Structure 1
């Protein structure tokens, strides 16, 4: 028998360390070569590390939320070989397998912790490979659900909706039933994507003096147009309001270039961007992500529909590439059917503005002295008051209102 030390490889992003956001195995488990062992989060991505050898895991580098330095030992395996094992030197680049990537925002990792003492050997068992995000695993653990009993989605990954289905079909066994007494307090460590989100939001609020503006928009004609377009869409995906709003934004930006800009507050430089790279805030099992529609101004409504759907699915499934999750110049965030009357979204730094459409509802309005029923959508915007004046933000939203309330203008070039 011999020990093989697997050192965290340099994944080519110039990082010093990565955070452990999930273990797929535990000490004592028997692991085959190329089996997933841990998910590591860098400043840019979540990387699935796979076993370089077959053997028994006898030591792990830390708990979820701990940092591991590049070149430090991530895991130690006991392998069925008496031969001398070739262990790469610390800091040396090791071959990197294909990784499932999820982009993240800026974060400075703390120093890596030292390895814990090896625990006593445990019985080895052959584990079924289970694909699920840390959030899904945490929820299953809280509900005392064995993920091996849950039927995964068509791609083999277990998601929250699969847990919901499992609970629905196993209600009689007590899963998901209402508690008769208060549950115990629970302490949750803020790690992984949720920690990145917390750091980014805190930095945005700390550095950017936000102000918000909300306008009411009559989208009755826009909704009628959308219904007509969907009736004639053929094999194309169903059109939502979002692509039409994106077209309106792209039509208005040339008159208000400061809205599509990045502010380097350290250098004191504002860069007005010529192309509209629109970030679409997307809720995933792991937290909020912002995939980017590149050159949105060059796409028609059907192309925008397809691209928004593709990016949202890639983000939710963890298959989005780093370049698809960075480089936005303006962000659009929507609560969809949850709606709300208004929002005060937090700016995606270093951008200077973020737009938030709210739910479309029927409301009574007065037209020519008569009360009528109209479809109304509130549109919220938050701006960086250091570079955007309230007057300009209001004028920009009024221009969007003009396009959306007279939708023929969206196509009048």
Structure 2
């Protein structure tokens, strides 16, 4: 038997360090060739690390959240034959302490399980984890368990490394248990707490947001828009072409309005290198589409929006957003945007203050569409209204230019035929 050492690979583009996000194996596991053993993260994308060999895991080279140098030892595997490594006294594998990795937070959770589902049956004994042994589970699972009054330490996890899945909660709820597995409810006092490691994508988000707020002179501008005519056009196009070309959301119309308006405001479709003190105004409009994924916020890029048709841009938005949500977006799909569009859909609220996605200098935010009475030509009528909440880098964009840009976008959306007049 020999030892095969997998080293942290060179992911390219001059990256010297990556963060170890999650292990999918543990010491003692028997793995197969091409099995994914770990996720690592660059400054933008999560990368899966597969094993080139089959064998038994001897040691893991780091803990989730640890920043590792390219070329450092990632994992040791016992293999048939001589392997690729000879142990020396200076190169003994060191097995790290067991780690309970925490996933980054996500914005959405599945439907809540009824709290009383497990309380109306005869009790059955359950064995909790040892004291101090923290169960592995995603924030969505933790939220669901909290709402259901279930302590996760009593739930058996069937996922990798004992991770508790939604299916495990379903199984737990469907079986009778003693009250020991129930968390206090109602007005009962609580003293429990939970620590969540800030690692992986959540750490990158935190770093980027902190850097953006520290370096950018943010200011926001909110304007309301009458989208009655736009919504009527969208529904008409979907009714006529939806089956053959695909359904349109509001996003491709917003992208089109931004593209047209930016022709007169090139200083807004720009990036700012504040270290070199250089502003780059871009002819191409590469729109970042802020996307909430299971692991946090990502910004895949709709490239050359200025050259795309309404349906072409709609299709590409859906493709890159789905890739980001499923952690399949490539580094190229997550870099190079020149302006960002962010929307919380039905959760958009009345107004927001989005954070500029540096090194860009502008981000356009979409709020919720609502029907409400407004005065038109002296008459009170019901119209579909929506706010745009946009933020700008005041070091580069003057307040007047930002306001004029948003007013141009407003005019195009309120008279949607103008979107397509050249």
Fold-level similarity (TM above 0.5): yes
Kindly report which structure 2 residues correspond to 1:266-281, keeping only aligned pairs within 5 A, or say none: 266-281=275-290
Pairwise CA distance, 1:219: 0.5
Counterpart-to-counterpart distance in 1, 2:391 and 2:176: 45
Among 295, 298, 303, the alignment partner of 1:286 is 295
- State the match for 2:272 in structure 1: 263
Pairwise CA distance, 1:287: 0.8
- 1:278-327 CA distance string (max 9 Å, x none): 10000001111111111101111111111111111111112212111110
Q: 1:366 to 1:167 in 2, by over 3 A?
A: farther
Counterpart-to-counterpart distance in 2, 1:88 and 1:284: 42
- State the match for 1:5 in structure 2: 5
In the alignment, structure 2 segments of 5+ residues that lack a partner are: 98-102, 107-135, 146-151
Pairwise CA distance, 1:347: 0.3
Pairwise CA distance, 1:68: 2.0
- State the match for 2:409 in structure 1: 400
Counterpart-to-counterpart distance in 2, 1:271 and 1:13: 21
- State the match for 1:54 in structure 2: 54
Q: 1:304 to 1:170 in 2, by over 3 A?
A: farther
- State the match for 2:366 in structure 1: 357
Q: Does the alignment pair 1:224 with 2:222?
A: no
Among 171, 174, 191, the alignment partner of 1:172 is 174
Q: Are the equivalent residues in 2 in contact too, given 1:60–1:115 (CA < 8 A)? A: no
Paired residue secondary structure (1:377): strand
Q: Are the equivalent residues in 2 in contact too, given 1:22–1:134 (CA < 8 A)? A: no
Among 303, 312, 337, the alignment partner of 2:346 is 337
- State the match for 1:299 in structure 2: 308
Counterpart-to-counterpart distance in 1, 2:65 and 2:342: 28
Counterpart-to-counterpart distance in 1, 2:319 and 2:331: 15
Per mean C-alpha deviation after superposition, the further-off stretch among 215-224 and 50-59 is 50-59
Paired residue secondary structure (1:201): helix
Calculate the TM-score normalised by the size of structure 1.
0.81
Number of aligned residue pairs: give it: 366
Paired residue secondary structure (2:409): helix
Among 166, 190, 202, the alignment partner of 2:210 is 202
Q: Does the alignment pair 1:37 with 2:37?
A: yes
- 1:82-118 CA distance string (max 9 Å, x none): xx332399xxxxxxxxxxxxxxxxxxxxxxxx99833
Pairwise CA distance, 1:329: 0.4
Pairwise CA distance, 1:237: 1.6
Q: Are the equivalent residues in 1 in contact too, given 2:271–2:279 (CA < 8 A)? A: yes
- State the match for 1:192 in structure 2: 200
- 1:224-256 CA distance string (max 9 Å, x none): 111111110132221111111111111111111
Q: 1:257 to 1:147 in 2, by over 3 A?
A: farther
Paired residue secondary structure (1:255): coil
- State the match for 2:126 in structure 1: none
Pairwise CA distance, 1:179: 4.6
Counterpart-to-counterpart distance in 2, 1:377 and 1:44: 32
Q: Does the alignment pair 1:85 with 2:87?
A: no
Q: 1:88 to 1:313 in 2, by over 3 A?
A: farther
Per mean C-alpha deviation after superposition, the further-off stretch among 212-221 and 62-71 is 62-71
Q: 1:117 to 1:290 in 2, by over 3 A?
A: same
Pairwise CA distance, 1:10: 2.0
- State the match for 1:98 in structure 2: none
Q: 1:359 to 1:42 in 2, by over 3 A?
A: same
Q: Are the equivalent residues in 1 in contact too, given 2:61–2:96 (CA < 8 A)? A: no
- State the match for 1:243 in structure 2: 252
Pairwise CA distance, 1:216: 0.7
Counterpart-to-counterpart distance in 1, 2:55 and 2:282: 53
Q: Does the alignment pair 1:322 with 2:331?
A: yes
Counterpart-to-counterpart distance in 2, 1:386 and 1:119: 47
Q: Are the equivalent residues in 2 in contact too, given 1:61–1:115 (CA < 8 A)? A: no
Q: Are the equivalent residues in 1 in contact too, given 2:17–2:68 (CA < 8 A)? A: yes
Q: Are the equivalent residues in 2 in contact too, given 1:262–1:272 (CA < 8 A)? A: yes
In the alignment, structure 1 segments of 5+ residues that lack a partner are: 90-113, 121-132, 151-159
Counterpart-to-counterpart distance in 2, 1:134 and 1:58: 28
Counterpart-to-counterpart distance in 1, 2:362 and 2:226: 23
Per mean C-alpha deviation after superposition, the further-off stretch among 353-362 and 46-55 is 46-55
Pairwise CA distance, 1:12: 2.6
Pairwise CA distance, 1:138: 3.0
